[in-house]
Chains A and B, each alone.
Chain A
Amino acid sequence: METSQRDEQFYRSMVRMRAVETELLALSSAGQLRGSLHLAQGQEALPAGAGAALRKDDYVTATYRGHGYVLAKGGPLLPIIAEILGKAAGLGGGKGGKMHLFDLEYGILGTNGIVGAAVGTAAGAAWAAQLQKTDRVALTVCGDGALNQGHVSECMNMAVLYQLPLIILCENNLYSEMTPLSRSHGDVNLAGRAAGFGLNTAQVDGNDPEAVYQVMSEAVNRARTGGGPTFIEAATYRTIGHYQADSGIGYRTAEEVEAWRAKSPLDRWAAKLGKRAPAIAAEEQAAVRAVFEEALALPGPDPLAAGTQVFA
């Protein structure tokens, strides 16, 4: 794909994600969406760039904030939104919700509510791909804070030991909830930590979808060809609160948030596309709106389904 085509694809992907989040935030504010809502405003370039570097049959696991990667993997929007809204036609029949999105057909092995937990899942899928002698790869997305889970360290070691086709994309947005990196990491060099385990490492501007795409493509190519796991540290920032009840201010200065807003990947790519941007944005927003309207009208799950599917 040519760069200009990719630029449009990135912009569409980012606008779509933002439109989905805008709808969800409105529903949550109106008390029409259950549970916690972890949004990723400001971080849209990461799923856009990473998604474009993957094949449909590659695997993805992500966090409670990882709906963008599910969208960017290319599956139809309706079952994703339906699940987030707790509808029977959702990916998990309304059982999982937004923190627990699964879609085997598109290699989505779960967004996850437990910090760090999804790293093992992706490493295991990468292991299966290797044992099955396919060239599929697995991407796992985690936060900066997740690197402090013992599970993540264990998996990094095994990824190197077995030379797994795994990419760990670490969204370093400088905070875990309300705690800054400086108060949670003895050494804030995250890529350095991964290098200590022997992973290939790269650092990237996480607000630049093209740069993310390039570094991801390199890592994916390496993984596909037996070159082992890569850890990518992406510098980014959520310009919104940790979840719907957090203003995002107090533990961060307004200046800091504003400085990062100025680096919004959406604005950057809108400027890049120039006059074409508004029409593309309007098209994506309308498509998302239509899916939400359809999803909101869907029936909820049958209460009798509550006790089913505990086992296969």
Chain B
Amino acid sequence: MTAPLLDVHNLVVRYKPRGLFAAAAKPAVDRVSLSLPAGSTLGVVGESGSGKSSLLRAVLRLVPVESGSITLDGQDWLAAHGPALRRARHSIGFVAQNPFLSLSPRLTIAQILAEPLLARGDKPGAAMQDRIAVLLSRCGLPPDFLPRRARELSGGQAQRVAIARALALSPRLLVLDEPTSALDVSVQAQILNLLMDLKADFGLSMLFVTHNLKVVAHIADQLMVMRQGSVVESGATERIMSAAEQLYTQELMGFGRRAQKSAPTS
């Protein structure tokens, strides 16, 4: 049994109260524990304000952690600082909900994909151009997109670029915050297919956050349901989808859809 890639134990994240005399805020993440084995996908589901993004931000070391521990690849992730933190961050790729906000509109796709490589200190040149073209094609876009700009792309194409950028430094962990929530159903299907392919090809681990239980249930090995900062229920996806223990989880499954799709027998 190998150690998990990511191990979170009793994590508490609390934002500063807004006013000078305001009472201490409730924790945004309240004693959350999770364990993500290498090569597996954990879906984190909850309604808005349940603390999903705060949990991701803590894993990305973008917000201070009040208490608890995060172990990444066997290392105490909260102890990393300075250049070591910056280096170690490369092992995590991040994809946000709205690609048009996360991709600079002025840069070409080639420049967007080069950014993380240059930031790491890679030398620009033919090798880098090759790497960029491979990344983009791996995410389903032909090389003629390289000179184009993000604002010329459709939502699905832009999200493919954002995923390619997140993979630029060959991370082992991909962290996704509502990556399909701004997309239409047909495009959502393309992106979910891409994520399943990438997971199979690169042995990626994924932490996939969404308010849409059905979307993440399709690709996650395990699910974790959050409400008001706490974990309501967690376990294997099949178990939760077939026999959710909590009424709240059942509510998240939606409005009792739907009559079985009849098998075509023409």
A and B part of one assembly: no
Q: Residues on A close to B: CB < 8 A?
A: none
